Structure 1
Amino acid sequence: MANVVVNTTSPMSGRRLSRDVNRLLAAGFQTIVNDDLTNLEVRLEGPMGTAYEGGIWTVSVTMPQEYPLKAPRIRFVTRILHPNIDFNTGLVCMNVFKQAWSATYDLVNVFETFLPQLLRHPNPHDPLNHRAASIMRQSEQEFRDKVSMYLRMYALPIVPSDHAKVDKNLEKRSSDLSLSELLSDDDDD
């Protein structure tokens, strides 16, 4: 990240943004960052013990020019069924987040605390996704079942099929064979 130009209103906020992105990367979050650090895509795993456990979502983060004084904009790129996340746009209900945001928070707080808490404690009484909220209010079990169904449809990690593994092993063996043939002493005739 050397020589990154940060598009912010002050040098102080540019240093802060750079530090916060580096902390997020150091915390082990798989992250794709644009050149000026204002747009990120971060991989978020569902918290253990929740209906979201086992899922992996890509979350888009847009940093405002006023960061860290203003909260980043958070959007799920991977579809998720949650009362406080719009199913079509992925926007997260930010009322509580924006009110609670403080310049002392950083991106690690967003991904280690805020989003996991949102997934652990959906609020059907302040919904962005009215359908999910309605299901949740009617039956917790039905809501968990629907979340599981959507998780399997959209948020499971991509695992190579056995066929792909066999093909890869064959390819490796054939390249090893070719390499061993090239290195054989039989060519000294």
Structure 2
Amino acid sequence: MVDLGRVQKELQECNKNMDVSGINVKPKGDSLTHLIGTIPGPVGTPYEGGIFQIDIVLPDGYPFEPPRMQFATKVWHPNISSQSGAICLDILKDQWSPALTLKTALLSVQALLSAPQPDDPQDAVVAQQYLKDYQTYVGTARHWTENFAMVSSRGHEEKVQKLLEMGFAEASVRSALAAVGGDENLALEKLCSG
């Protein structure tokens, strides 16, 4: 049985420093065992500027079993399936420990975006491209980030700027806009409600 008290504490921990980490986790519906997490693409990578959603399912044995995570946002990466979003990461499999949390797992997934492991791929096609034609890999990953992980609407930066001028942190503003499909008014409501 999932320890719901621990899950609630972990959700608070994930969301309390969102301005700094950019990481956010919330229930997907009414259950605390099906969550949606968001991570920002790491700076200096082809994923920079993207907000990536990760579907999280907590098995009955959590925290003694790892959470099941997969990207809901399409991503071009050797260790993430371009088809299903499955993630190849040791702490989500045999290296999981009950001492780890949802936040440390999401930080590890974010770190994976910065440091692909093409020798242990989830997506062999992407891994081959990474190893044989790195520039094409970077271009493709950037293209996928722009198409699938960025809120695409004209005036997006103006919306960000307007909300920043109201005193909100940039990571929170970008995350709120991404969560509501770029609707400035809904983003403002989200930011004001915490």
Shorter-chain TM-score range: 0.7 to 0.9
Give the counterpart letter for 2:56 in structure 1: V
Q: Distance in 2 between matches of 1:79 and 1:55?
A: 11
Return the match for 2:66 from 68, 71, 76. 71
TM-score using structure 1 length = 0.73
Secondary structure of residue in 1 paired with 2:81: coil
Bigger Rg, structure 1 or 2: 1
Unaligned runs of 5+ in 1: 1-7, 166-189
Deviations 1:68-112 (A, max 9, x none): 111101111110001111111111114453222111110111222
- Which residue is equivalent to 1:125? 119
Deviations 1:96-137 (A, max 9, x none): 53222111110111222x112210111111112111001001
* Sequence identity percentage: 27
Q: How does 1:141-180 map to 2 (within 5 A)?
A: 141-161=135-155
Return the match for 1:54 from 42, 49, 59. 49
- Which residue is equivalent to 2:134? 140
* Cα separation, partners in 2 of 1:108 and 1:62, compared to 1, 3 Å: same
* Cα separation, partners in 2 of 1:79 and 1:72, compared to 1, 3 Å: same
Kindly indicate whether residue 106 of structure 2 is the aligned counterpart of residue 111 of structure 1. yes
Aligned-pair Cα RMSD in Å: 2.1
- Which residue is equivalent to 2:33? 38
Unaligned runs of 5+ in 2: 160-194
Q: Distance in 2 between matches of 1:160 and 1:141?
A: 28
Deviations 1:15-36 (A, max 9, x none): 2122112211223233331323
Give the counterpart letter for 2:63 in structure 1: P
Deviation, structure 1 residue 48: 0.9
Deviation, structure 1 residue 61: 0.7
Deviation, structure 1 residue 64: 1.0
Secondary structure of residue in 1 paired with 2:94: helix
TM-score using structure 2 length = 0.71
Q: Distance in 2 between matches of 1:160 and 1:64?
A: 41
Deviations 1:42-83 (A, max 9, x none): 121101111211111111111111111111011111100011
Moved more, 38-47 or 20-29: 20-29
> How many equivalent pairs are there?
153
- Which residue is equivalent to 1:85? 80
Deviation, structure 1 residue 159: 4.0
Q: Distance in 2 between matches of 1:14 and 1:135?
A: 42
* Cα separation, partners in 2 of 1:30 and 1:147, compared to 1, 3 Å: same
